[in-house]
Structure 1
Amino acid sequence: MASSSGFIIFMPWLTIPAQMRVGRFRFSPIRLADVGAIIDPSMVSTVQNALRCYVQKNGHPIQSCTILLRVSDREPWNIPRSHWDYASEAAKTLAIACLSEQRFLEGHFSPHLNATMFHIIGQGVSVGSDQIAPFFARRGGGLQIGGMRFKDIVFQRPPQIEGTDCSLINAALIKSIGKARRLKLPVADAIDSSLELFLLGHSETPELDWDRCVMLSAMAFERLLTPTQSSAQAMAATFASHWSPFVSVKISDAKRVKPDAKYATEQADWPLHRKWIKELYEARSATAHRGVQIAFSRNWLAWQHLIVAAFAYPLTIKLMLSENNLYTLSDHELGACDALDDLLDSSWGKGWRKPPEWSEILSKSEAYRAIRAIIDRAIVKSPSGQRRKIKK
């Protein structure tokens, strides 16, 4: 017998391109007109009315969203409140699997993502009721608001959702993170303890300025990397150890990146990504602590730090999972890793007349890796020096 009431969890501001399983949940794109395909018929109109409370920038109700469904359950849409933490973890995992595929600085009309897109909403519903009872996680426990009718309340789409779109989901990354959790590996704890900080720093919420977002990004890297000491030097050394196969530009060869004047000799052989993470940590300290700040070179502005962090954080997760034999980076991902130093030394552009070099550098690096991999897989040298095709 179907329940006469329940609790739905959904992402009102995101419609993913296809169903995706994450742990014990399946994230499913759904049009309001098709709610009956997953909801008990007696509950359809109530759920539709609840979802129509969420409106777009023009004030019109959303026409589609992403709903969470429990895997292998008689009523998959009905998710107990006690499962909120599991649903939240799954949503964060989906978020990083999508954000890891984001492209940057490819023009005003290129697809854009941020963490706000992946916020989940929990809402109680009852058959035939015109009442809405949204649920919000709060300090000291959750809050469920009752006594309101559907027609009396509207939830406006956040402004940072404008122009966002999610067309790619890295299913392999989701599976790898899930396996690391099941095996209770340290890398899983590192990811879970850092992910929320990263997502908050990249939510693009107007309540946080760029300096605070940089601070949160640095904190996320610190949680992920777990350096032996809480210092910029230790963070830089740990980050560089994971990125050691991808050194393409050293400070001594850089066009734009300068070393700290006091340590110019010691830093001459540093790859640029080591200098960048050091400066990211120093920017975090400058925001978090008052008092006199030690003078170091600053090669990147706050907004530039955020783009690099959004690019490098997911790749670092992939590298760490790869070190645990849980993930295999694709040729394009390896090309992205190859490009990091060159991206850090690139021109960030000057308006529309001189666009950033980022997109061109990254595309060339990805293409070079892909072409090289095709050649390597297609042709090998035999002991006699003759080339032959590889048998698949």
Structure 2
Amino acid sequence: MSDISQANLPDNPSGFIIFMPWVTLPRRVRVGRFRFCPLRLSEIATIVDQSIAAVVEKAVKCYVRRNGQPIESCTIVLRVRGPQLWNIPRRQWNSAVDAAKKLALACLAEQRFFEGHFSPHLNATMFRIIGQGVSAGSDQIAPYFPRRGGGLQIGGLRFKDVVFQRPPQIEGTSCEVINERLLKALDKAERLKCSAARAVNSSLETFLLANAEAPDLDSDSCVTLSAIAFERLVEPVNNTAQGLASAFADHWAPFVSLTVGNAKRIKPDAEYAPEQNSWPIHRKWMKELYEARSATVHRGPRSVFSKNWSAWQHLVLAAFAYPLMIKLRLAEAGLYSPNDRELASFEVFDLLLDSSWGKGWRKPPEWSNILSMAEGTRAFHAAITRAMKKQEGKPSGEG
């Protein structure tokens, strides 16, 4: 197969097509120069050129579910402008990867935790893209695999020779909530060359790797990656546990709800208890997250420091707080306005850090109740405020 990723013959179109095969978005979403579009087998001809539709269908059928049956839908990556929107030149691969990472963030940022066994479960692996060269009228496919120092495109394979099976860590393939306001804010931050954009770009890949739930990364490694992601996102002056914790707390300062000294479950470091008792709990958590990273990277944990959270708890907390910190940084730059639900998350983070993590199905974690009550309270007050403003706007004498 001769460079089918670049050929562009009108009578026999060829090109490079990119799928996000393990998730089907609820609608089209634009990220930079790309549009991520849900693709169902029955609707392929409405998404891509009729001349290439049959080949795209064959390519989609190379992707199979856990039971070995072909997937029935996925997400295709399209260019926003130009001829043959489905044909993405290989030179744009890195840009497509970056767009996919931002889309993953916009979805993971809205994930709910501890909502029950049947609630949607997302991870970063769902949003990885796979590219392949295809040619109309041909039974050949040329998959592309990123590698150290570049990538490898393998030609000479036929559709019937290639099978991509859904990774075992992916439970479901739907993502119903996408924060497009966050995507627009990130795009504007990049255009303005805002420091928040630099921090997000520097930290996002590490965060996604920590939340890929890849079987070859254990919990301690993922905690280390999470701490590195926060270090790059927060950009502390001093790259130490104390420095990162202090900088994190500075950003979160408007939303302190509980201090270490008033906590039910959180213990300070014995030697520094008088000082740490006045800390917001989120500052103590960030210090411990970084210390967990240091324990893995260096010589193990230091017994003089208290440890209030296990590795898996750190991972859940980091997955929850990292997108919120991005929203805070964008809000500080005047590029994002948190809604009531997000403000509730900021406000109760200390309470979540001090909450019970439960004991099996008989005693579930307190997390969901705490967050739902805070969201309900904010929604109630917002409704009252809107009603009062509406009433104030009426002429006197009207009921």
TM-score of Structure 1 vs Structure 2, range by shorter chain: over 0.9
The 5-angstrom pairing of residues 358-373 of structure 1 reads 358-373=367-382
Contact map agreement 2:79 2:86 (CA 8 A) in 1: yes
Paired position in structure 1 for 2:204: 195
Paired position in structure 2 for 1:16: 25
Paired position in structure 1 for 2:190: 181
The 5-angstrom pairing of residues 50-65 of structure 1 reads 50-65=59-74
2:82 pairs with 73, 85, 88, which one?
Answer: 73
Contact map agreement 1:111 1:164 (CA 8 A) in 2: no
Paired position in structure 2 for 1:375: 384
Paired position in structure 1 for 2:365: 356
For the residues of structure 2 that align with 1:367 and 1:39, how far apart are their CA atoms? 44
TM-score between the two structures when normalised by the length of structure 2: 0.94
The 5-angstrom pairing of residues 1-392 of structure 1 reads 1=10, 4-163=13-172, 165-290=174-299, 293=302, 295-379=304-388, 389-390=392-393
- Matched AA of 1:265: P
Secondary structure class of the residue paired with 1:300 = coil
Contact map agreement 1:2 1:40 (CA 8 A) in 2: no
After superposition, what is the alpha-carbon deviation per residue over 1:120-149, rounded to whole angstroms, capped at 9, x for unaligned? Answer: 001100111111211011111110011211
1:374 shift after superposition: 2.4
After superposition, what is the alpha-carbon deviation per residue over 1:289-324, rounded to whole angstroms, capped at 9, x for unaligned? Answer: 136736310000011001110110001100110000
Secondary structure class of the residue paired with 2:76 = strand
1:389 shift after superposition: 2.7
- Matched AA of 1:293: R
The 10-residue stretch of structure 1 (361-370 or 168-177) with the greater mean CA deviation from structure 2? 361-370
Contact map agreement 1:214 1:283 (CA 8 A) in 2: yes
Paired position in structure 1 for 2:7: none
- Matched AA of 2:370: I
For the residues of structure 1 that align with 2:230 and 2:270, how far apart are their CA atoms? 25
Contact map agreement 2:22 2:173 (CA 8 A) in 1: no
Contact map agreement 1:378 1:390 (CA 8 A) in 2: no
For the residues of structure 2 that align with 1:66 and 1:318, how far apart are their CA atoms? 26
1:42 shift after superposition: 2.1
For the residues of structure 2 that align with 1:325 and 1:106, how far apart are their CA atoms? 32
- Tell me the number of residue pairs that the alignment of Structure 1 and Structure 2 aligns: 385
Contact map agreement 2:291 2:301 (CA 8 A) in 1: no
For the residues of structure 2 that align with 1:107 and 1:257, how far apart are their CA atoms? 26
After superposition, what is the alpha-carbon deviation per residue over 1:40-88, rounded to whole angstroms, capped at 9, x for unaligned? Answer: 2221111111111110011110110000111122211000000011101
The 10-residue stretch of structure 1 (230-239 or 290-299) with the greater mean CA deviation from structure 2? 290-299
Secondary structure class of the residue paired with 1:227 = coil
**Structure 1: which 5+ residue stretches go unaligned?**
381-386
For the residues of structure 2 that align with 1:3 and 1:184, how far apart are their CA atoms? 42
Contact map agreement 2:12 2:137 (CA 8 A) in 1: no
For the residues of structure 2 that align with 1:316 and 1:300, how far apart are their CA atoms? 20
For the residues of structure 1 that align with 2:172 and 2:208, how far apart are their CA atoms? 18
Return closer, same or farther for 1:3/1:185 CA change in 2, 3 Å cut-off: farther
- Matched AA of 1:43: I
Paired position in structure 1 for 2:397: none
1:38 shift after superposition: 2.2
Return closer, same or farther for 1:129/1:164 CA change in 2, 3 Å cut-off: closer
Paired position in structure 2 for 1:383: none
Paired position in structure 2 for 1:384: none
Taking every aligned residue pair, what percent have the same amino acid on both sides? Answer: 63
1:390 shift after superposition: 4.8
Contact map agreement 1:133 1:144 (CA 8 A) in 2: yes
After superposition, what is the alpha-carbon deviation per residue over 1:169-221, rounded to whole angstroms, capped at 9, x for unaligned? Answer: 00100000000001111110000000000000000011101110110000000
- Matched AA of 1:84: W
1:377 shift after superposition: 3.5
For the residues of structure 1 that align with 2:279 and 2:348, how far apart are their CA atoms? 16
Contact map agreement 2:341 2:375 (CA 8 A) in 1: yes
For the residues of structure 2 that align with 1:180 and 1:2, how far apart are their CA atoms? 42
- Matched AA of 2:382: A
Return closer, same or farther for 1:175/1:292 CA change in 2, 3 Å cut-off: closer
Contact map agreement 1:335 1:370 (CA 8 A) in 2: no
- Matched AA of 1:143: L
- Matched AA of 1:6: G
Secondary structure class of the residue paired with 1:136 = strand
Contact map agreement 1:180 1:187 (CA 8 A) in 2: yes
Structure 1 outlier segments of 4+, above 3 Å: 291-294
The 10-residue stretch of structure 1 (109-118 or 146-155) with the greater mean CA deviation from structure 2? 146-155
- Matched AA of 2:160: K
- Matched AA of 1:162: E
- Matched AA of 1:133: A
Return closer, same or farther for 1:342/1:144 CA change in 2, 3 Å cut-off: same
